């Protein structure tokens, strides 16, 4: 991981940071902090994001794919990643995940969007190893989107509701029970995946052999966009990658 950070900083990082204002340091979660327990749709900016998940994530026997359990806090972040992180900060956060991390430019989409980078985190060292997490970072706003693979990614939950790798019927059943208990709204993706009406949560699906499983995107609105849907990276459009929505 150190070699990836050193190489990228040498080749790109000065250029990345030159055109944007200084980014405030990412606050560390307080020692012993647990998951945020406030209302499901409003989380203060200083809420800890899965404090127990800031170390190694590939823990044997934990989660369906051998990962730690991560939590999503709207407008704050998911697992060890915080929205607004620079490329360098995302690489530092990914350093706790055993495997290989790579950085590349996203194809330009809309002229109003600033330059955007795609950071891929794979579960093991070889380049052909399974893609687990994909982070999208723009020059103007930093980390604005995190995609989690339905099979190889961490098990991410929101307020106790499991979101990753779910079949449509099982997820819908749990979401309906959740929204009834919490008194929040229910929403559906265009392919029929249910989810709570939570800021920044875009429920997508991913083909796994002959079946489909949930592959959520965790987002904030990026520069030049009005909503999370407007902010969707081109690589996450239907037909452009593993995700359909």
pTM: predicted TM-score of the whole model, two decimal places? 0.69
What is the maximal distance between C-alpha atoms in the chain? Answer: 52
- From first to last of its 245 residues, what are the pLDDT tens digits of the chain? 443 444 444 454 444 334 433 433 434 433 433 333 333 322 333 333 332 222 233 333 333 444 578 999 999 999 999 999 999 999 999 988 778 899 988 776 665 677 889 999 988 766 667 889 999 998 888 999 999 999 999 999 999 999 999 999 999 999 999 999 999 999 998 778 999 999 899 888 899 999 999 999 998 888 767 777 766 787 776 655 565 54
- What b/e sequence results for 117-143 when a residue is b if at least 16 CB atoms lie within 10 Å of its CB, and e otherwise? bbbbbbbeeeeeeebbbbbbbbbebbb
CB-CB contact of 99 with 129 (8 Å): yes
Pair of tokens at residue 129: 């190893």
Q: Where are the domains of the chain?
A: 2-236
């Amino acid at each position: 991981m150190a070699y990836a950070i050193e190489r990228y900083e040498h080749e790109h990082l000065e250029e990345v940071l030159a055109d944007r204002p200084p980014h405030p340091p990412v606050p560390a979660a307080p020692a012993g902090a647990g998951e945020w327990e406030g209302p499901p749709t409003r989380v203060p900016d200083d809420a800890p994001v899965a404090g127990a998940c800031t170390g190694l994530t590939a823990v044997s026997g934990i989660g369906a794919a051998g990962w730690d359990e991560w939590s999503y806090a709207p407008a704050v972040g998911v697992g060890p990643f915080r929205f607004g992180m620079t490329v360098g900060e995302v690489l530092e956060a990914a350093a706790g995940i055993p495997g290989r991390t790579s950085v590349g430019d996203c194809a330009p989409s809309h002229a109003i969007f600033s330059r955007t980078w795609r950071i891929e985190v794979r579960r093991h060292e070889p380049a052909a190893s399974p893609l687990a997490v994909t982070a999208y970072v723009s020059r103007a706003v930093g980390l604005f989107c995190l995609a989690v693979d339905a099979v190889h990614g961490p098990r991410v939950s929101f307020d106790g509701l499991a979101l990753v790798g779910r079949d449509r019927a099982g997820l819908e059943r749990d979401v309906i029970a959740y929204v009834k208990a919490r008194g929040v709204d229910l929403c559906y993706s265009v392919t029929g995946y249910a989810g709570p009406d939570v800021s920044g949560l875009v429920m997508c699906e991913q083909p796994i052999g002959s079946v489909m499983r949930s592959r959520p995107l965790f987002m904030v609105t990026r520069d030049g966009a009005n909503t999370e849907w407007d902010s969707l990276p081109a690589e996450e459009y239907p037909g452009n990658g593993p995700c359909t929505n």
